[in-house]
Structure formats: structure tokens, C-alpha cells
Structure 1
């Protein structure tokens, strides 16, 4: 569901002659009515693209981002950037999603987490309400994955695109992919959800509550009213640490940290404040990420993911509406969308008449392999797109 990362993502494909360079743009809707019936004014989201839209606008691919991500799916904004977008291994000239052939676009969602990142544009609780001149805070309406998709649809249609050759994305991006395929079947030729399932089950709903809990008990959260005051970054940092741990796997944790203390001279057995290395690393990563994130946005993303069922009802109902063939790419060690949930999704889709091809990632990172290990799936993606 989320990918809060401890280490830098892998550099762009080593064989690339030069980096794919892109620029961030802003899409604006004068008004947008949420699925819950609330109308928002001046809705803005960031977006970017790679490749060229062809004359009949039939070569567009939409990439949907994960919980803690943004639109930066591939390439760099500047050749000097430290790392490319998260799926650069499979998006670019000559890669599995070939930008010599496809026009690839991606946008920031509503309530995007990364409010402190100058390369992210979003509308959410931290945004100023045009009617009051103050941040919405918790007056911002609950939004759903369906709302994320509807704003993307408006962006796509503003470019004159009537049908997408492919919709794809990891984790929360997979939820948006399922939603696109069910709610707008006439617009989706093929769908590639990665490390995700077709609805949030009870276990995932409860885990998402665990993610949110540290924010809610931080006194600085103040029931969401903290703009212009001290933000609840202690709670947000711990929430992000929880997300990072679940997005990984014990194979990674044990091999990377084992039982080593955070400081060699501070034995964890000697004092309550002495810590293990994995505790220190997770907390440091959470604290760094919290500085450019917003706690209310985190909570709204949690709610959107808890509410998710493909098509807004149930996967079983939605499966009968999906027309696009599906390439479902997952990691059997995933601790967020477990193997059981994934197989239930595949079975339900097939019962609904959907053509489903499955591919599996290997590695020690669990859920996170759906971001950093996608090169493994290159052959499956190429074959799927060529069908």
C-alpha cells in the first residue's frame, strides 16, 4: 500500500546512454464534485509525461502512483538528479513500456502525502479553501480511490485521449488501476495492477488503522487543526516507520540488521533507551520523510484505502464490468497485500470473465519489490503489451 523507503532507489538502467528528462506540469479543475457529493473549487494536481502522443492519440499509458509516491514514475527532472522516477527500470526508450512507442503520463493524486515536496502539486486538507482563505484541515471531504481516478480521467480527457493503451501502477496505484478498469471499461485497453488486490479486506483495514494510530495520539495533531502551529511530526514519523516496516519483509530486516545495536557501545540490555539498529534506522527514515509530508493527508489516504472496493461496491460485482485483460504482478512475500488476498483477487476476476495473466516477483523486500525489482517483470510486460 505504501512505500516509505529507507534507502535510495536504484539508479536508472545502467545501460542507458542518457537519462530520460521530463518536466512537472499542473492540471487545474475549476470545480470537482467528489463521490460523496461535495464540490471543491480550484482543484490542482501535478502531472508529467514521457514520450510523444501520436496523431490519433491511441498510444497513451497511464501510471498511477503508490501511497507515499507521486507522479514521478520515470526519468529525471534534471540530469543532475540523484535518482530517476520509481519505475524507471521499465519505463523509457527501449524499455518494457517503451517511450519510443507510448506516451506515458502520471499524475499526483488528491490528498497526496508529499505536501513539502516542490515537485508535488495536490489538493487536500493542507490546501487553502478558497471560500475561507484558510487551510481546509478536517473540513476537507473524505475522498476515495474513485475520486483519484475521476480527476485523472479529467486530465486524460483534457489531452484529447479517449482510450488508454494501458493503465498500470503499484500498491495504491494498483487500486487505481482496478478502479479504472471497472468504472471506465471503455477507456482501458489493458490493465496492469502490481502488488495489490481488488478490495481492502478486514485485515488490511485494521492494519491501516495501525498505520494511522501514532498521528492520532500525537497531541500536536489537535484533531487536525495544526496549520500555523507545531505539526504532529512525531506521530507522523512513527506512522511512516510502521509503513516502511510492513512494506518490507523479515528476510530483508534480518539480513540487513540482525540483532545489532544502534550503537556498539550501547547494549540494548543495559538501558531502556538503548536501541537496536533496525529501530534507529526506521525512526530516522520516518523523521526525514515526515518533514516533507502532511499528517492529515496521511490520514485521508488511509481512509481512501480502507474504503476501497473495485467499482465502489465489491470486486465480485465489478469483475463483470471489466473488459480489459489484466496482467497481475505480485510478490508472494508481500506483507501488505498478502498472497491469499492476491489469489482471491485473481480467482474473482476470472469468475467474472476477466482474462488474467499472473507474474510473480522474487526478492527479500516483499511489497517493496513491486517498486524496486520491476526489471524482473520486463519479459511479462512486453509479452502482455504485444498481445
Structure 2
């Protein structure tokens, strides 16, 4: 299971989301899906390095039509994977992260579209049995040992190119749409810039067309605790004590950055600055700190510290089109575009999506913009996107 889905599960079981009965009915109608494996013998990265024997997981929902013109690619977020919708079996308690958007009769209608999604390189949740990825924790076929930091730096374009290899293997020449949240939005807009003749529509949810200096510095903070953990050992910890404390500290930052302060304060309503334990013991922690620590630790066992470092770097290197500047990259886009940032997002602030929208508008492109309204901050892209389900449905039909 992925980071946000685990957090989602915690919130649901705490009664915090207040989902309606219709949402519950949708959950019961989830598709039953399977994880498939895509393999490549060799792959050349954007930086010109070679990775051998790549294996990545992928899923699909719905059926590909006769002329293969109804494919929609879903590109996943930082700590997510290809499990965008459905369940692996009826007993699963949690469906894919966008199950409320993807499925029969839903906004991304699997009665009409063939929907597919792929795990990225260096996926963080390497210990999740439903994640299949190649990254620093993978055995290097040339040495018989884990890559560690010898694994090449990878970019958002590399994720896109591997998705393209799968799509070409399926005989698909053009995508009806590419849709993604957060880091997935980076992949979606880069698809439209890198392969403009293959993408008819692009939907960016809680996203951006580039990483500015502020956001790059913020993501750097996610990497720092891992590198400061003595067990990290310059990335050479496989078969030894893993840098668990550094990983937990990183996940605490990710959790805090992804949530709006109002939601955290609401969830910790009983918190008091003058709690007895921290008042009397410098090593004791406030209840709110324990709250976020507990949630981070509950996820750490599924994840790999080096993989977080690689995804941080992939995001830090991002600009749509992987070109000299954002304007040049966006100028290549032919697709219709839709931007759905969250008004309360403090991680990928809405001004980032608005910048791309404004540039595309000035270039005379067909583009739309609307803001999600919710109390979850960045996570509004999962919990507050349903009010824009019809916006997405209509955009896909235009």
C-alpha cells in the first residue's frame, strides 16, 4: 500500500472524512484488478546512462477498443504506485487512490475508456507486495549486489519514456488523455510537451509545470534526515541496519507538507501546549508530535530511504519539456489542457499550476483552470476532487 492510501485509511477509520453513503456505494462497486509486469532488457536515461533488466508493475481498467483510440494513462504521485483504482480482491479494505474517479460510470469511465497506470522507477514502497520497481534497492545484474547510489539519477522524462515503451508495446499510437496528481501531474504535462502528437488531452491535478527554487528547497528537506542518519552509510545499507530513523523523519516532513494546518489542528483538537510530559521532561514529546511520528512509522516498513532520495531528485530536476525554460517546453504542447490545483495547497502551491495555465493561454492554447476547495491542503487532490468530477468528465469528452 502507498503512503497516501495508508493515510487515507487512517483518516477514514477515524471518521474524519465524512464520506456520503453514495461514496460508500461506489467503493463497493470497485473493479477487481491485477498487477502486471512490464520488462525491458536495457533502457537509456535522459542523462545518457544505461539501466539493464528493468521490471515495472502496471495495471489496466476497461477494454482497449478496436482502433486503440480510447486509452487514458494515469500517472501516479510521489509515494504512490500504479494502483489507481479497483481492488486486488474483494476482501481488500481500501481501493486504488482514485477509485472514486475511475470505474464504470465514473468521471473516467471504464465503460468508455481503457485506463492504464505504471509504477515508476525507484518507487518508494519496495516492500509492498503489489509494487514492482527497479531502483537503488534492486540487484545490479553486473555486480550481483544492490545498486545503492550507483543507480543512475532518473528524471520525470525517464518515467514518461518507460510508460511510452509500454504503450507502444500495446500498439497504442495516441493517448486520449494523460491524467495525474502531484508528481503524476509532472509526468502528464511532460508527456504533452515531449510527445505532442501522441497526447490529445492533459489533466494536471494538484500539480505544476516546473519546480521553482522555493519548492526545490522544500523537497531537499525531505532528503536531509535520511542522509544524516548514520545507518544510511552513503546509501550502502542493504543487508545491514537500514536508516529507519532518517526515513521516519523524512516521512514526517512529507506528511506535514501534504496536509493543511487546519486539518492537522482539527485532527489534534485535544492538543495543549502545556502538556504535562514535555513540561517536565526535555525528551518527552507533545501529543501532536507523537501523532505524526506514529503515522510515519506505520509506513516506514514498506519504504526504502534511497528511493525517496531518487524521487526527490527527479522532481527537483523537473521542467515541462525538459528544455531550457518553461515557456519553451510548453510551446510544444498541442493537447487540450486542464489544471486543477488546490487553493489550500502548501506543497505545490496553486500559483505553480496557474503559471503554466497563463503561459499556455498567452500562447493561444486550449486550456482550462479551476481550483479545488477543501481542508486537506495538497491532499485535496484525493479527498476534494469529486466536486470536479463532472469537469473532468466533460473535459475528456470535448
Q: Normalising by structure 1, report the TM-score.
A: 0.96
SS in 1 for 2:122: coil
* Mapped pair 1:324 → 2:335: yes
Partner of 2:40: 29
User: Greater shift after overlay, 97-106 or 333-342?
Assistant: 333-342
Shift in Å at residue 251 of structure 1? 1.0
SS in 2 for 1:228: coil
Could you say which structure has the higher helix fraction?
A: 2
Partner of 2:320: 310
- 8 Å contact 1:319–1:353 — kept in the other structure? no
- 8 Å contact 2:206–2:350 — kept in the other structure? no
Counterpart Cα distance in 2 of 1:169 and 1:266 = 45
Shift in Å at residue 265 of structure 1? 7.8
- 8 Å contact 2:30–2:99 — kept in the other structure? no
Q: Match for 1:171 among 182, 187, 192?
A: 182
Shift in Å at residue 278 of structure 1? 2.0
Cα gap change, 1:134/1:261 in structure 2, threshold over 3 Å: closer, same or farther?
Answer: farther
Q: Match for 2:238 among 224, 227, 250?
A: 227
Counterpart Cα distance in 2 of 1:102 and 1:51 = 6
Counterpart Cα distance in 2 of 1:265 and 1:196 = 38
- 8 Å contact 1:3–1:67 — kept in the other structure? no
| 1:84-122 C-alpha deviation (Å, 9 max, x unpaired) | 000011100000000000000001001110100010000
- 8 Å contact 1:266–1:275 — kept in the other structure? no
User: Greater shift after overlay, 213-222 or 370-379?
Assistant: 370-379
- 8 Å contact 2:135–2:151 — kept in the other structure? yes
- 8 Å contact 1:86–1:372 — kept in the other structure? no
Unaligned runs of 5+ in 1: none
Counterpart Cα distance in 2 of 1:25 and 1:54 = 20
Unaligned runs of 5+ in 2: 13-18
Over 4 Å off, 4+ runs: 2-5, 9-12
- 8 Å contact 1:6–1:282 — kept in the other structure? no
Partner of 1:345: 356
| 1:217-253 C-alpha deviation (Å, 9 max, x unpaired) | 0000000000010010110111011001000001101
Cα gap change, 1:124/1:133 in structure 2, threshold over 3 Å: closer, same or farther?
Answer: same
Shift in Å at residue 353 of structure 1? 2.9
Partner of 1:104: 115
Counterpart Cα distance in 1 of 2:272 and 2:170 = 54
* Mapped pair 1:6 → 2:7: yes
SS in 2 for 1:77: coil
Shift in Å at residue 259 of structure 1? 5.9
- 8 Å contact 2:38–2:55 — kept in the other structure? yes
User: Greater shift after overlay, 226-235 or 348-357?
Assistant: 348-357
Partner of 1:128: 139
- 8 Å contact 1:309–1:315 — kept in the other structure? yes
| 1:58-77 C-alpha deviation (Å, 9 max, x unpaired) | 11000000000000000000
- 8 Å contact 2:124–2:307 — kept in the other structure? yes
Partner of 2:302: 292
Shift in Å at residue 261 of structure 1? 5.6
Q: Match for 2:288 among 278, 292, 298?
A: 278
- 8 Å contact 1:185–1:323 — kept in the other structure? yes
Q: How many residues are treated as equivalent by the alignment? A: 385
Cα gap change, 1:4/1:302 in structure 2, threshold over 3 Å: closer, same or farther?
Answer: farther
- 8 Å contact 1:4–1:244 — kept in the other structure? no
Counterpart Cα distance in 2 of 1:52 and 1:246 = 37
SS in 2 for 1:88: coil
Partner of 2:254: 243
Partner of 1:333: 344
- 8 Å contact 1:315–1:349 — kept in the other structure? no
* Mapped pair 1:158 → 2:169: yes
Partner of 2:49: 38
Counterpart Cα distance in 2 of 1:43 and 1:118 = 17
Matches within 5 A, 1:194-213: 194-213=205-224
Counterpart Cα distance in 2 of 1:3 and 1:82 = 14
Counterpart Cα distance in 2 of 1:212 and 1:258 = 30
Counterpart Cα distance in 1 of 2:204 and 2:322 = 17
Q: Normalising by structure 2, report the TM-score.
A: 0.93
Shift in Å at residue 266 of structure 1? 4.1
- 8 Å contact 2:275–2:286 — kept in the other structure? no
Shift in Å at residue 5 of structure 1? 5.2
* Mapped pair 1:385 → 2:389: no
